[in-house]
Amino acid sequence: MRHQIGVLAPIADSFLIPDNHIGRATVSSVAVAHEVPAALRLEP
């Protein structure tokens, strides 16, 4: 997931964190929301 975020970071100005069909955050969306800021702090 960090690799994908790192690849898209130069061309994206934001990331949409998905939820499930009833609008509640899932464990995977919480994990993605946690990883995005961490991945953006990584130096290539």
pLDDT of 7-40, one tens digit each?
888 898 888 777 777 777 678 888 888 888 888 8
Phi/psi of residue 18, each to 5°?
-75, 155
pLDDT at position 38, please? 83
CA distance 1 to 39: 9
Calpha distance 24→30 (Å, rounded): 10
The per-residue DSSP string of 2-27 comes to HHHHHHHTTT-S--PPP--TTSPPPH
Higher-confidence residue of 18 and 5: namely 5
Give the structural domain span for 21: 2-40
pLDDT band of residue 42 (cuts 50, 70, 90) is low
What lies within 8 Å, CB to CB, of 32 at 6+ separation is 1, 15, 17, 18
- pTM of the full structure: 0.57
Domains held by the chain: number: 1
